Amino acid sequence: MRLLCLLPSLLLAPFTAIAAPAIVPGVDFTHNDWTLACDNTRTCRASGYQNEELPDSLPVSVLLTRLGGPDQPVTAELMLGQYEEIKLPARLSLQIDGVDQGRVDYAGQEGTARFSPKQVAALLTALSGQGRIVFTGNEGTQWTLSGRGASAVLLKMDEFQGRLGTPGALMRKGKRAESSVLPALPVPVVVLGTLPAARPSDAALGSSAALRAALVAATPAEDCDGIQPDQTVVLDDPAPPLNVRRLSADKLLVSTVCWRGAYNEGSGYWVVNDRAPYAPTLVTNLGNDDDGRSISGAHKGRGLGDCWSMNGWGWDGRRFVATAVSTSGMCRLVAAGGAWDLPTLVTHVKE
């Protein structure tokens, strides 16, 4: 069995040959202990973590969020590590270079907090330099936020949002007018098409040798092991069935398991003609579930399940378009399922 470890960088690039709406592409960037995700509306989210190379460094993460457009503030929130059996404090305060910045707005049962504007300003100043950022519980337990990589990530955020050289830039301030900052963009709307009733002949195509042969011919072998003649070596399974759904008067959605790894699997989805020549077009090989009009995929970054990548696609009546791309952040044992939602593609899907 081929062992696949799917990292967020892989899942942020869905395999698709079908055109997506004309939108500004998002960006993801990671350096040391910080990672950045900016989406197609120009909203950016940067998350930082503990330096896991240091002994006894407790898991912690801070999320910085800034909307696109001029004069937008930065907001910040925090999550203490939830994996280890550490008693969460009842209260939490922020210290920078040993100077007390006061208590944060902390929810003890959840281990999460929000920062005041003054605390955000102090946090950003520390991250742009070499400040030491420590969160201390009322019982004395301390969580240290790493600044490694923060300046590079914040610089990339400024660049994406068009803030470099403006007074509001986080890293390279200047006198360029704030009004010159790139504007925020609207969330694209994807209207899902209405599916027609299935036909008796649709299900029969699931066992069609001709359709399977067309999929093999149209799909690179590395994109889908499950349709290859020797797939049992990879999937430990007899030839997985082809699932067929009707999309329109002459188009079908065909899917089957493509690959399995130690803790993930992915199905391939193709749009095909409902009769020969089938002319398959691969939408993705990262799917996990679908309802005919929508396809979704979610994959662990590692077996512990503390980091995930998610993707979505929607049928607009003519084609499948990407509707969502995101990760939950870095694999740092902060929370089961990951600490945050860090999208690089957002849409509003209307049924």
Question: Do residues 278 and 211 touch, judged by C-beta distance below 8 A?
Answer: yes
Q: What's the mean pLDDT in 306-321?
A: 97
Sequence spans of domains, the chain: 25-180, 189-350
pTM for this model (two decimals)? 0.90
Predicted confidence (pLDDT) at residue 240 exceeds the cutoff of 90: no
Q: What is the CATH number of domain 25-180?
A: 2.60.40
CA distance 342 to 15: 20
The two three-digit tokens of residue 197, written as one number: 């009733």
pLDDT 10s digits, 265-303: 999 999 999 999 999 999 999 999 999 999 999 999 999
- Residue 162: pLDDT band with limits 50, 70, 90: very high
Question: Do residues 96 and 123 touch, judged by C-beta distance below 8 A?
Answer: yes
CA distance 322 to 67: 22
Question: Do residues 242 and 207 touch, judged by C-beta distance below 8 A?
Answer: yes
Report DSSP state, residue 97: T
